[in-house]
Structure 1
Amino acid sequence: MTRPMSRRLLTLALASALSLPVWAQAAFTPFTVSDIRIDGLQRIGAGTVFTYLPVERGDTLDQGKAAEAVRALYKTGFFEDISIDHQGSILVIKVIERPAINKLTLTGNKDLKTEDLIKGLKEIGLAEGETYNPLNLDRVTQELTRQYNNRGKYNVSISPSVEHLDRNRVNLTITIKEGKAAKIRHINLIGNDRYPEEDITKDWESHTSNWMSWYKKDDQYSREKLSGDIEKLNSWYLDRGFVDFSLDSTQVAISGDKKDMFITAGMTEGEAYNFAAISVSGDTILPKPEIETLVSFIRPGNVFSRGLLELATNSVTARLANIGYAFAKVNPVPTIDRDKRTVAIDFQVQPGPRVNVRRIVFKGNSRTADPVLRREMRQFEGSWYSQAAIDRGKVRLDRLGYFETVDVDTQPVPGSDDQVDVTYTVKETTSGSISAGVGYSQLSGINLSLQLSENNFLGTGNRVSMALTKSNYQKRYDFSYMNPYFTDDGLSLGYNLWWREFDYSNYNVAQYSTNSGAFQVFMGLPLSESDSVQVMFGIDSNQILAFEGSTPPPMVDYIKAVGQNTFHSWRTQLSWGRDTRNNYFTPVVGSTQNLSAEIALPGSTVEYFKLQYDVAKYWPLSQALVLKTGLNLGYGDSYGKNYSRNLCFTAPLPPIPPTTDNPNPTQPPAPPPPSNPCLTTSTDYIKTVTATGLPFFENFYAGGIASSGKVRGFTDNTLGPAYVSGFGYRQPLGGSVLVAGSVEAIFPKLFDSPAARVSAFLDFGNVYNGYKNFSASELRASAGIALLWRSPMGPLSISYALPLRKKDGDQIERLQFNFGGQL
């Protein structure tokens, strides 16, 4: 039995040896490589293969070297198959290349953005032009399934397909069927004896379905959201003194159809504790009493709160970070007395080394010059690190309006424990436009324009605007230039030059027109990080074209009282502004205030002044809701001399009454006015006209979406005093007093794009002829919804409003929109 079995084994061994690859047989006979030939290459160059090949001419190739060469080439991922042979002393390597990815297509993904997925796929080698590796495709399928599961989408289907093309290429298509996220049907807390479940889960991101779920999507299960909510549960009790609180279990169950989720959390509350003694120890750097002041809001006897500990810790670290100790640590060490149910806290300060900023680097600013960014910095190179100054620089870059996003990162300098580099990474956005196009609004109709507007001209930060505009109520030619840093101290200098032909009768205003031009110079000076003042000086000329019988008599009389229809002005304006918004385009916190005084100086045709105050504040109520409140006040009047003129008129002769003999008598014509009519017959009369108060062409207007007193739901410019002709035709006159305001609820999360936002608003306002005529009962009000969108073709604003407070004669316009204007 033993001998035949041995013979069989020997036969099998010989057969196996004969079937080995040629390179394996040859490997038993080492040889010196005189040359290397690679067969089968299509896309990959031979030089690339030689880079990875651990064999060179003159090397001796044995079995170990051959196996090592095969492994090295497989590791490149370029080849599906590799074999080694030799012809004499020539090493022959035969390869079959893996195909190249010709096109990569993603379809069906809504929850995950395509650009984010493409970026992630590229990091693992799945990108157009790269070598196709099936293992990478399997990894992608698993990772995408995991990410969608974490978002509560358990019915997701990831279907990759490969289409083979000529020239060893493939098209990859990844088809995603996301399905719907599983809904949270029930949340059950076990062990919460002191607090009701609805109070504990009030601030959770995970909720069962409610009337706001369509917007918040808080009833969709997400593993990340639940993890955050569990942490909120822990913080809830620790902030209320329950030091011994423990979360015993968390269970998440899913229904058989993978559409419903059931969450259960078990806990042990324990007992509530109070603070005992509060102390500070360690190297405080600053005087110890100053550090103790920063944590003094924690008082012995108060209920223990982890949130207060974090606030105190952050206060100390922020204070030290602002004087250079970027890596300071403060450890609140508790001493728990379970008998007395108290916790004593010792804040141990570890300042670390004082840090110097070696370099400030900017990334992503391909168009904007570095000096434009650097002049906004409040942290300087070579100075002590200050977290407040670094954060302030980020806010100032955000408020320029040049960038979509601004991120800041601080990295230690390798080999140094007392130096850091600060990097600001920006993503540039459109800061202006060059356009020739057509706009439309309900107020102005078709608007033809040729406009160049650039807030970051050639990357210098200077603002340049040139425009030619024509609509059914105006022709306008404008040029303006402003250098916000005319001096290194931040003194700005700018110019305005314009000519306008304006027909107010097509602007929902009284029937008259103007031809005006102006040249203005203005300078601005910053007073602080958020405050600035600006002064303007200019000259202008304004020709008023009024028409007897169509222009309202008060306006005609004003021109007659002055004695001319061309008004020349030497004008100056002083204004103060404050801007604490966190972002230029989409603020969610902060405010803006503007107070201005404009004066037509002595020597002008008419001497007057205008005061205006505009304030808006943003109140972040949550990530999904921002409240904006605003108020706009204006007042104007004349000063110095008033114009008064007596106008003489000849009354027409009385008509001839009809008689039986002459039923239709010919009426005598009115006699021509005598050379000095006021001294002739008793049929002459005198009318005194005056020009007082704010000139009518400088009045404020209210109503609509485009006027200074915005009250949506009413036709633009139609609120306030008006002249009504005998035929009932109403011509708005405006007023010297403006009162307008709004309360607006903004929903920043309704759209993913920062270029669009939806809001619900309440507007109110009106204009009055003099402050003595102000009456709150005359204020109009409206409520509605609005969409603002910075479209690629220009800003678009749409609103739909219902008047809440109106009176007879008001002109209502519920749906209003403006395309090509300002947001």
Structure 2
Amino acid sequence: MKTGTGTGTSCGGVWGGSNILWRALAAIFFLTTTAFATLPDMAAAQSYVFNSVQVEGNERIETSTIITRTGIERGKEVSAGQLNDAVQRVLDSGVFETVEMIPRGSTLIVKVAEYPTINQISFEGNKRVKNEVLTEVVSSESRRIYTPEQAERDAVAISDVYSAQGRVAATVVPRIIRRSDNRVDLVFEIAEGDTIEVERISFVGNRNYSDRRLRRVLETKQAGLLRTFIRADTFIADRIEFDKQVLRDFYLSRGYVDFRVNSSNVEFTRERDAFFLVLNITEGQQFSFGQVTVSSEIAGLDPAPYLDAIKVRPGVVYSPSLVDNEIARLEKLGLRNGVDFLRVEPRITRNDRDLSLNVDFALVRGPRIFVERIDIEGNTTTLDRVIRNQFRTVEGDPFNPREIRESAERIRALGFFANSDVETREGSTPDRVIVDVDVEEQPTGSLNLGGNYSAADGFGLAVGLTENNFLGRGQRVSLSLSTAQESERYTFGFSEPNLLGRNLRGDLDLGYAARDSSFSNYDTRRVFFTPGVTFPIGELSSMQLRYDWGQSEMRNRGSQPVGAVIASEIAEGKRTASGLGVSYVYDSRRSGLDPTAGVLFRADVDTAGLGGDDKYVKARISSTAQRLVLSEEVTLKATVELGAFHWLGNGNSRTIDRYLLGPRTFRGFEPAGIGPRDLSNGVDDAIGGNYYAVARLEADFPVGLPEEYGIRGGLFYDLGNLWNIDDVNTDGASIVGADGSLRQVIGFSVLWTTPFGPLRFNFSNALQKESFDKAQNFDVTLQARF
């Protein structure tokens, strides 16, 4: 029993413990089952069905617009994620500052806070840039919705304007001032800061050209003495990129085909008030033209005439521009010969052994494409015909991409447009193209106020008013007034660049000139009228035909005595000259085969005798050759001038008809300081000469000063003669120097390029002269514009 009792007791304890365990398990099972049973109800709590949507807080935006923007449909189930998407869609509209969606049973409450509207926009702290300029770059507008994002973008745009002026430290902060009716004033607070200058520009890797020479190529300049007036020394990132291209063009035009700019490093100075600019370059070797040939891939087209038209010869320093010129020349020749769709492809073979490039100009047939039409847009002032005159191609002509590019360059060269884009697109059929010209007009008039000084005329004021696109016709109208102390000139000029719709420039000049010179004892007055026509006769040459009418008079200056010659000429009073003139000009200084050398040749012949009182032939020839030597650091220039005057009429010529040499023609002497003179009546009158010959040799070079100062030195040597006074009334005169004699002058110059213009100081010594000559040991010339 005991055992049984004990056993029973023992079993009861176990089952008792088991009951407790079973109860615990049952409780856990119940809770778990209950949790799983309630999950569907919890998931259902994250989904909504709305029978209505209410919008609160909107003032300008229609309720229906906001509801449509949410994308929520009545009666359809919407999840919490979809509600979040709806909030974002309304925010993305850009007109609300905050958006909140609150479910209330079957109703969805949409609470919005609209961005305010801009009442006005203002700028504070700007002194260097006008409000009008900043308004152009700001996209925010009055009576439009304000958004912080747009205001920040506008602040960046304003900062870019200042950066373009070298004020990279400028800061712009947009602020708002709350007004009634949910309006704000948008204020851009500007701290302009100082301009950051380029303290020094240096190069790494240049061996053939010095830093000084390369700095002259760049648009960016080092800060110099006149940094207050020179804006080119401010740091502008876009200008650095332009300088890289200019530097590349400089080397390529001199045959360095492998040239490259490895890097451009810009670093602050230690004081952080300026920049150092370092350009790392690789020059490579200089290449020249090797064999230059022409081949034809067009059946029946003989390449021989095209080879004869080639001007580049082996040994000439290679330049891509010369290749382009030859391509244009050959394509124009093909057009004249009636070869349509001719294309010239340059095929270049490199010879590293002798550093030459063989060029074969292949004549190939281009695609048969025609110009359907030329569309012009954006020209609010300029007439269509002015732009069309820049095209050598018209509707229906074969399409030539090179001609279109050249036409685009001619349009840009007009200077009438701030921007001009010329593009082509496919026309009505694949074999036709449409040329689109999109231009943006810019002001074409200018008012120039300036001063000038010369030893001959003294100080004076110059005023010029010019309109380069008169009435949108592309015509140039100018009015100028020059009032030096001893020389006045009032002129009106008119130019038509496309006379009769052709490549002719028509000019008309008329005016009045008066001279009261202290270097003579008489005054002159002259009225003139000169129309002319100028036209090209070659790639580098042009000719002008003109008619010249003038009425001139020599006058006594008070009671001052004059010699017998001048007295007889004054007594003749007013005289009229009417005649024709022709000028020929050849200029290869910028467009020739050698970028370091050039020639300027000019010949003028004027005749009088088509009515009037005077009859004569007057001719002048001048030729100037220029070359850069010693790594283009030194400029050598040689000039020869010859002049001849032959009187054909009755009576006698006058001093103002003959040649008088001044300091610009022959240095080292006063105006009219050499040549025949009349010493009668106790005076010393220069009476000019019928013939003159002058040779000028000069060199200018760096003097060791930083080039940003703009100061260079020069040496010159002039020699010349002025003689012959045939057809001069010499009764009672005492003439010296009529037979002429050689004069020689040597001297040095200081050339200073200032923001106001070139300033030149000449110090000279006459090595050979006559006793009656008027030597001048110092001369300075300044021409200023501001």
Q: Same fold (TM over 0.5)?
A: yes
Matches within 5 A, 1:367-766: 367-387=381-401, 389-390=403-404, 392-393=406-407, 397=411, 402-403=415-416, 409-413=422-426, 416=430, 418-421=432-435, 423=437, 425=439, 428-431=442-445, 433=447, 441=453, 454-464=467-477, 473=486, 483=496, 485=498, 487-489=500-502, 498=511, 502=514, 504=515, 506-517=516-527, 520=529, 522-524=531-533, 526=535, 528=537, 531-538=542-549, 540=551, 542=553, 544-545=555-556, 550-558=561-569, 564-578=571-585, 594-601=602-609, 604-613=612-621, 633-641=642-650, 643=651, 691=652, 694-703=653-662, 709=664, 732-737=686-691
Q: Following the alignment from structure 2 to structure 1, what is the Cα–Cα distance between the partners of residues 417 and 759?
A: 26
Contact 1:635 1:737 in 2 (8 A): yes
> In structure 1, what residue type is equivalent to 2:582?
S
> In structure 2, what residue type is equivalent to 1:96?
Y
Q: Following the alignment from structure 1 to structure 2, what is the Cα–Cα distance between the partners of residues 588 and 48?
A: 75
Structure of higher CA gyration radius = 2
Matched, 1:802 2:781: no
Alpha carbons of structure 1 residues 713 and 424: separation in structure 2 relative to 1, 3 Å: farther
> In structure 1, what residue type is equivalent to 2:743?
S
> In structure 1, what residue type is equivalent to 2:51?
F
Tell me the residue number matched to 1:777: 743
Q: How many residues align?
A: 690
Matched, 1:169 2:185: yes
Q: Following the alignment from structure 2 to structure 1, what is the Cα–Cα distance between the partners of residues 68 and 634?
A: 61
* Further displaced range: 531-540 or 127-136: 127-136
Alpha carbons of structure 1 residues 732 and 537: separation in structure 2 relative to 1, 3 Å: closer
Contact 2:616 2:645 in 1 (8 A): yes
Alpha carbons of structure 1 residues 369 and 290: separation in structure 2 relative to 1, 3 Å: same
Deviations along 1:66-125, whole A, 9 cap, x unmatched?
65554344334444323356997996643234878824679799xxx9999979965xx5
Contact 1:744 1:759 in 2 (8 A): no
Alpha carbons of structure 1 residues 601 and 214: separation in structure 2 relative to 1, 3 Å: same
Any idea what SS the aligned residue of 1:817 has?
strand
Q: Following the alignment from structure 1 to structure 2, what is the Cα–Cα distance between the partners of residues 619 and 361?
A: 45
Cα shift at 1:510: 1.2
Q: Following the alignment from structure 1 to structure 2, what is the Cα–Cα distance between the partners of residues 246 and 597?
A: 49
> In structure 1, what residue type is equivalent to 2:69?
P
Q: Following the alignment from structure 1 to structure 2, what is the Cα–Cα distance between the partners of residues 457 and 589?
A: 37
Any idea what SS the aligned residue of 1:696 has?
coil
Cα shift at 1:594: 4.5
- TM-score calculated relative to the size of structure 2: 0.61
Matched, 1:354 2:314: no
Any idea what SS the aligned residue of 2:603 has?
strand
> In structure 1, what residue type is equivalent to 2:605?
A
Contact 2:465 2:480 in 1 (8 A): yes
Contact 1:469 1:477 in 2 (8 A): yes
Contact 1:104 1:127 in 2 (8 A): no
Q: Following the alignment from structure 1 to structure 2, what is the Cα–Cα distance between the partners of residues 784 and 101?
A: 56
Q: Following the alignment from structure 1 to structure 2, what is the Cα–Cα distance between the partners of residues 547 and 72?
A: 93
Q: Following the alignment from structure 2 to structure 1, what is the Cα–Cα distance between the partners of residues 87 and 201?
A: 54
> In structure 2, what residue type is equivalent to 1:487?
L
Alpha carbons of structure 1 residues 392 and 67: separation in structure 2 relative to 1, 3 Å: same
* Further displaced range: 279-288 or 470-479: 279-288
Any idea what SS the aligned residue of 1:170 has?
strand
Q: Following the alignment from structure 1 to structure 2, what is the Cα–Cα distance between the partners of residues 59 and 328?
A: 71
Q: Following the alignment from structure 1 to structure 2, what is the Cα–Cα distance between the partners of residues 82 and 165?
A: 23
Whose RCO is larger (CA < 8 A, sep 6+)?
2
Q: Following the alignment from structure 1 to structure 2, what is the Cα–Cα distance between the partners of residues 516 and 276?
A: 58
Tell me the residue number matched to 1:646: none
Cα shift at 1:414: 6.5
Cα shift at 1:361: 4.6
Deviations along 1:601-642, whole A, 9 cap, x unmatched?
17654432221345678889999999988765433232355x
Cα shift at 1:536: 0.5
Contact 1:788 1:798 in 2 (8 A): yes
Alpha carbons of structure 1 residues 742 and 329: separation in structure 2 relative to 1, 3 Å: same
Alpha carbons of structure 1 residues 469 and 809: separation in structure 2 relative to 1, 3 Å: closer
Matches within 5 A, 1:75-474: 75-84=92-101, 93-97=112-116, 102-103=121-122, 159-167=171-179, 168-173=184-189, 175=191, 198=207, 287=301, 353-362=367-376, 365-387=379-401, 389-390=403-404, 392-393=406-407, 397=411, 402-403=415-416, 409-413=422-426, 416=430, 418-421=432-435, 423=437, 425=439, 428-431=442-445, 433=447, 441=453, 454-464=467-477, 473=486
Q: Following the alignment from structure 2 to structure 1, what is the Cα–Cα distance between the partners of residues 779 and 533?
A: 40
Q: Following the alignment from structure 2 to structure 1, what is the Cα–Cα distance between the partners of residues 494 and 279?
A: 61
Any idea what SS the aligned residue of 1:695 has?
coil
Deviations along 1:330-366, whole A, 9 cap, x unmatched?
7879999xxxxx9999999996633323333556654
Deviations along 1:761-799, whole A, 9 cap, x unmatched?
77758772339856553457663325587xxxxxx6552
Contact 1:537 1:571 in 2 (8 A): yes
Cα shift at 1:383: 1.1
Cα shift at 1:141: 9.6
Contact 1:542 1:566 in 2 (8 A): yes
* Further displaced range: 458-467 or 612-621: 612-621
> In structure 2, what residue type is equivalent to 1:161?
V
Contact 2:459 2:485 in 1 (8 A): yes
- TM-score calculated relative to the size of structure 1: 0.59
> In structure 2, what residue type is equivalent to 1:75?
D
> In structure 1, what residue type is equivalent to 2:749?
A
Any idea what SS the aligned residue of 1:697 has?
coil
Q: Following the alignment from structure 1 to structure 2, what is the Cα–Cα distance between the partners of residues 736 and 74?
A: 90
Q: Following the alignment from structure 2 to structure 1, what is the Cα–Cα distance between the partners of residues 749 and 622?
A: 21
> In structure 2, what residue type is equivalent to 1:368?
T
Which of 752, 766, 781 is residue 816 of structure 1 equivalent to?
781
Contact 2:626 2:638 in 1 (8 A): yes
Deviations along 1:183-240, whole A, 9 cap, x unmatched?
79995x8xxxxxxx84699999799xxxx977899999999699989999x999x989
Cα shift at 1:542: 3.3
Q: Following the alignment from structure 1 to structure 2, what is the Cα–Cα distance between the partners of residues 767 and 526?
A: 34
Identical amino acids, percent of aligned pairs? 15
Alpha carbons of structure 1 residues 98 and 421: separation in structure 2 relative to 1, 3 Å: same
Which consecutive unaligned segments of at least 5 residues does structure 1 have? Answer: 19-24, 190-196, 270-274, 337-341, 644-690, 748-756, 790-795
Contact 2:101 2:109 in 1 (8 A): no
Alpha carbons of structure 1 residues 74 and 261: separation in structure 2 relative to 1, 3 Å: same
Q: Following the alignment from structure 1 to structure 2, what is the Cα–Cα distance between the partners of residues 703 and 49?
A: 87
Cα shift at 1:432: 5.4
Any idea what SS the aligned residue of 2:553 has?
strand
